Amino acid sequence: MDGIENVIEMDGVSKIFHGKKAVDGISFKIGRGSVTAILGPNGAGKTTVLSMLLGLKEQTEGSIKVFGLPPGSRLVREKTGAMLQEVSVMDRLKVREIIALIRSYYPQPMAMEVLLQATGLAKADLQRYAEKLSGGQRRSLNFALALAGNPELLFFDEPTVGMDITARRHFWDRVRGLAAEGKTILFTTHYLQEAEDIADRILLFSRGALVADGSPDEIKGRIVRQSLSFLAAGDPEELRGRLRQLAAVEEMYDKDGRIVVTTENTDEALRAIFTGGLEVKDVRIDQGRLDEAFEQLTIQPEEGVKP
Ligand SMILES: Nc1ncnc2c1ncn2[C@@H]1O[C@H](COP(=O)(O)OP(=O)(O)OP(=O)(O)O)[C@@H](O)[C@H]1O
């Protein structure tokens, strides 16, 4: 242990490619033993952030520290493992030889038995040539290579793309096992459910910027507006006019023949509606979901027309 509490520190980091900002003034810290998801749509800058943290790309502005050191330093590399989107394994070598080679680079590699168990690679796969592996087996081999050095910090870039549901579940079960051992995990995904299910913290990226940072619940609580919907029991125009006067009502629109109002506090809005004697019927409360939050935060400006 090196006594460093924050495994990762990014401060005001930007990356410019040919005059275009792919990453725009990002700052965050990642504590030891946490499982963090970088969530965002295609092109949000997720892979670029991982590449900078791995020392594969240099930032244009800002400072990046991993274990208190510049990314890519030898000491950092010894403590880090990564599974990236580009799956390239060394052909003409057997799986056992590739793993042995990568293990040999590290001072305290993970024992072969443990490695097989942690990644789901079968013993029989070890004798096969990498080029003969199926897509799923190649993923397992890449997972094994990421773990070979028994790293403290693991990066996974969209790790479950192309995996079927069973493979995905097994993968995340194994990652949870690694997290339970105290490893720090940072992964990118554009699956909301995955981020919500796996991570204890979500960094939400949109167009290169960090637009929300918190636990899945905090993110929901912060940005998901609750809504009420109902039918008009009397004159709908009069009802709309009176709803506009209520402080608890933020926005109002029609959807599927119902009047919808958004509010920060459904209890207060309901109380105002009933104590004011507003004529409503068939009232429904919608708690809001993370998907809506995601859409709200990552919506492109040209699509950002309010309903
Ligand atoms: N080497 C490069 N040269 C020029 N532009 C780049 C380069 N790498 C990334 N970009 C641009 O930077 C932006 C962010 O890309 P990045 O790959 O980091 O996004 P991402 O969130 O990982 O997306 P995806 O989910 O599609 O992998 C994109 O607009 C992309 O076109």
Regarding beta strands 209-214 and 251-255, do their DSSP bridges make them parallel or antiparallel, or are they unpaired?
unpaired
| Vertex 242 angle, CA 237 and 246, to 5° | 145
Per-residue pLDDT for 303 more than 50? no
DSSP per-residue string spanning 92-152: TSBHHHHHHHHHHTSSSPPPHHHHHHHHT--GGGGGSBGGGS-HHHHHHHHHHHHHTT--S
Question: Furthest-apart CA pair in the chain: how many Å?
Answer: 78
State the distance from the centre of ligand 1 to the C-alpha of 48, rounded, in angstroms. 6
Q: Is the CB of 47 under 6 A from ligand 1?
A: yes
Over range 91-100, report the average pLDDT: 88
Q: Is the CB of 19 under 6 A from ligand 1?
A: no
Q: Is the CB of 44 under 6 A from ligand 1?
A: yes
DSSP 3-state of 180: helix
305: confidence class by pLDDT, cuts 50, 70, 90: very low
Q: Which atom of ligand 1 is nearest to the CA of 15?
A: 12
Q: Tell me, rounded to whole angstroms, the distance of Cα 39 from its chain centroid.
A: 3
Q: Is the CB of 22 under 6 A from ligand 1?
A: yes
Helices (H), the chain: 46-53, 74-78, 95-104, 112-119, 135-147, 165-180, 192-198, 216-223, 236-245, 266-275, 290-298
Mean pLDDT of the chain: 87
Structure tokens at 161: 């793309």
State the distance from the centre of ligand 1 to the C-alpha of 43, rounded, in angstroms. 5
Per-residue pLDDT for 53 more than 60? yes
Question: How confident is the model at residue 256, as a pLDDT?
Answer: 87
The CA distances from residue 92 to 41, 84, 112, in Å, are: 36, 21, 21
Question: Cα separation of 306 and 163, whole Å?
Answer: 36
| For the chain, percent of residues with pLDDT exceeding 70 | 89
Over range 96-116, report the average pLDDT: 90
Q: Which atom of ligand 1 is nearest to the CA of 47?
A: 22
Q: Which atom of ligand 1 is nearest to the CA of 208?
A: 14
Digit-coded pLDDT (tens) for 206-220: 889 998 899 988 876
Question: How confident is the model at residue 307, as a pLDDT?
Answer: 35
Q: Is the CB of 15 under 6 A from ligand 1?
A: no
Question: Cα separation of 28 and 6, whole Å?
Answer: 10
Per-residue pLDDT for 204 more than 60? yes
Digit-coded pLDDT (tens) for 17-42: 999 999 999 999 999 999 999 998 88
State the distance from the centre of ligand 1 to the C-alpha of 23, rounded, in angstroms. 9
| Interface ipTM > 0.85 | yes
Question: How confident is the model at residue 41, as a pLDDT?
Answer: 82
State the distance from the centre of ligand 1 to the C-alpha of 160, rounded, in angstroms. 19
Digit-coded pLDDT (tens) for 158-198: 998 878 888 889 899 999 999 999 999 999 998 877 888 89
How much is the pTM?
0.78
> What domains, with CATH codes, occur in the chain?
1-79+152-224 (3.40.50.300), 82-149 (no CATH), 225-287 (3.30.70.920)
